[in-house]
Structure 1
Amino acid sequence: MRPFSIGKLDRQIQFQRKAVIRDPRLGAITAGGWVPHGGKRWANVQEVLPSKAEQLEDAINMELRPVRIRMRYRTDITGDMRILYRGRTLEIVSGPVELGRRQGIELMAQEYSSAGDPVS
């Protein structure tokens, strides 16, 4: 089977997930800071052009510099993670969705504020 063509994987990105902390006395679970999820990954990162705004979902705001990310297929990436890319912190707003038959994934992401909350 020929691999699914997802473009040039010429950019490195780093996924982060929320750390989970369990209180040993109470057993309560709280969210900590962000921690790396795996190593850096090669991906195809495309800035979404304003001319394509009509085709995007309502949840994606063009002022937040959205990007489309495609990479090799993975099962450990979820929508509640964030991405570090070229000094930017990106919130996953759509996906990941499977490309082909487990050959790649695609997701949409947009800027995060320095406080860790989406820019508004």
Structure 2
Amino acid sequence: MKSSRFNRRVSVLRKSTSQDNRGGEVVQWVPLVALPGSPVLPERWWAEVQDVLPSRAERVDGAVALGEGMTRIRMRYRTDIDATMRITVHGDIDQTYEIRSGPAEIGGPKDRIEMICERYSTKIEPPADD
């Protein structure tokens, strides 16, 4: 793959759980690899980000409309990424994606990985008039 196809900067987040003082679970998403210094900033890598057709679907769950966007993200080969993680695609507005399938090795041994990811955006729908 030509490096010019790596058109976006991404960072990978892993789930970190702890307990609060009442014994409840606290979930945080922390960088898989952090840059040195304070505050903690995620390391960013070049990736190819491409929408999967159809690019949008919408479903209603209760009064909340969930917009789904499936996206293919390809990056250089790594062994420390799995399907429990999230990927943030950086740009004018950062978008966070959940990994739905993959990572799968593509392009030959230890060349690249590909993940199919899903982005959710939510908006509150007004209640239906009866």
TM-score bin (small chain): 0.5 to 0.7
1:105 maps to 113
Q: Give the CA deviation at 1:105.
A: 0.3
Please state whether the residue corresponding to 2:118 is helix, strand or coil.
Answer: strand
The alignment yields a C-alpha RMSD, in angstroms, of 2.6
Partners of 2:9 and 2:75 in 1: how far apart? 10
C-alpha contact 1:18 1:31 (8 A) present in aligned 2:
no
Deviation per CA, 1:17-71, whole angstroms, max 9, x where unpaired? 0114379xxxx9x5631101121110000011218xxxxxxxxxxx511100111
| Separation of aligned partners in 2, 1:110 and 1:6 | 25
Give runs of aligned pairs for residues 28-107 of structure 1, distance below 5 A.
32-38=27-33, 39-50=43-54, 63-85=67-89, 86=91, 87-99=94-106, 100-107=108-115
Task: Select the structure that is richer in strand.
Answer: 2
Segments of structure 1 that go 5 or more residues without pairing to the other structure are: 52-62, 115-120
- 2-structure distance, mates of 1:76, 1:6: 23
Number of residue equivalences: 95
Partner amino acid, structure 1, of 2:115: L
Q: Identity over the aligned pairs, expressed in percent?
A: 43
Structure 1 segments of 4 or more deviating over 3 A? Answer: 20-23
Shift of 1:84: 1.0
For normalisation by structure 2, the TM-score amounts to 0.63
Residue identity matched to 1:35: V
Q: Give the direction of change, closer, same or farther, for the CA distance of 1:113–1:80 in structure 2 (3 Å limit).
A: farther
**Match of 1:14, as an amino acid?**
S
Q: Which has the higher helix share?
A: 1
Aligned partners of 1:113 and 1:81: how far apart in 2? 18
Gaps of 5+ in 2: 34-42, 56-66, 123-130
